[in-house]
Structure 1
C-alpha cells in the first residue's frame, strides 16, 4: 500500500472526525509523515467540514494536533 498524500490524509481525518474520532491518532501520524514527505510545515483544514466549526472547536483541534507534532491552520472561506 502506498503512502497517502497530504490531501488523502486530510480527507481521512475528516472521515475520522465524523466517525466520532475513530483511529484519529493513526490518521494524524499518517498526515505528519505525508507533510514531511511533501516538505510542508502545516496542515490546512476547511472549517466548514469540521464537526465543531466554532472557535473553541478549532482551538481544541489545533491543540490536539500540536501535541502530536502537526501544526494546523484553517482555510478562509
Structure 2
C-alpha cells in the first residue's frame, strides 16, 4: 500500500473537522509525515471547507496544528 499524499490527508482532516474533530490528532501526525516526504513546509487548507470559517476558527486551527509541529496556511 502506498503512503497517503498531503491532499488525501487534507481531505481526511476536513471530514474530521466536520465530525467534531474525530481522530484529528492521528490525521495531524500522518499529515506531518506526508509533508516531510513531499518536502513541503506547510499544509494549505481551503477556508470554505472548514467547520468554523471565521478568523477565530482559523487561528485556533493554526495554533492547534502548530503545537503538533505542522504549519497551516489558508488559500485565498
TM-score relative to the length of structure 2: 0.98
Q: Does 1:73 align with 2:69?
A: no
Q: How many residue pairs were aligned?
A: 76
Q: Distance in 1 between matches of 2:3 and 2:19?
A: 22
Secondary structure of 1:69's counterpart equals coil
Cα displacement string for residues 9-62 of structure 1 (whole angstroms, at most 9, x for unaligned residues): 100000100111000000000000000000000000000000000000000000
Structure 2 gaps, min length 5: none
Q: Distance in 1 between matches of 2:8 and 2:72?
A: 16
- The equivalent of 2:5 in structure 1 is 5
TM-score relative to the length of structure 1: 0.96
